[in-house]
Chain A
Amino acid sequence: GAGVSQSPSNKVTEKGKDVELRCDPISGHTALYWYRQSLGQGLEFLIYFQGNSAPDKSGLPSDRFSAERTGGSVSTLTIQRTQQEDSAVYLCASSRQGAGYGYTFGSGTRLTVV
């Protein structure tokens, strides 16, 4: 597609429920990244996929967070047993080969845990 597409754009969930966030990167982009942006804060790295290599999961804050990328394209970020501190905007970005080519970000999913 023309840009990075994320869905849903907004998600309200009850504490303890599981949520799935989807990212559709730009076609042909081999690198895909997930970041988290809390209100008024910077961008916190979560996970990085590059081609067929093992993902860099070093930024995932707990084992409640997981992500996968199927067929080198669409990615899903899953948060199990959501907590109120998980409330944030989750941003996905893709890049042609890696960070040195610049990221294109999606508009994000705003997650609110009540």
Chain B
Amino acid sequence: QQQVKQSPQSLIVQKGGIPIINCAYENTAFDYFPWYQQFPGKGPALLIAIRPDVSEKKEGRFTISFNKSAKQFSLHIMDSQPGDSATYFCAASSGDYKLSFGAGTTVTVRA
């Protein structure tokens, strides 16, 4: 079964809007939560990551919010641009073991 549940499957926003992607997990041993960005024909690339000792992390226009008690985390893309149109994957791992990925969200930013 999928260890990380991701929603929505796809979303469309206007340029400047804030797409929000949500992920939920059950395994309380997970302690590393990265997000990956994938463009067509390319492999996923690490975008930003968070550990459970912080509730929020920002890198440029990308923000992760983390709610340990609810076992949920989300990605916000501030001031979204057409170049942000891509598929985004959340993931989680326990220790240095393998990553379990969500099903992915296709984000389209319209100019």
A contact residues vs B (CB 8 Å cutoff): 4, 31, 33, 35, 41-43, 45, 48, 50, 56, 91, 93, 97-108
Contacts and interface: CB of A to CB of B under 8 A. Distances in A.
A105 B41 CA distance: 12
Interface of B: 2, 6, 31-32, 34, 36, 41-46, 49, 89, 93, 95-104
A42 B43 contact: no
A108 B32 contact: no
Given A43-B104, A98-B95, A105-B36, 5 more contacts: A35-B101, A98-B93, A99-B99, A102-B46, A107-B42
Contacts, number: 63
A68 B102 CA distance: 27
Contacts of B102: 42
Contacts of A108: 43
A55 B50 CA distance: 27
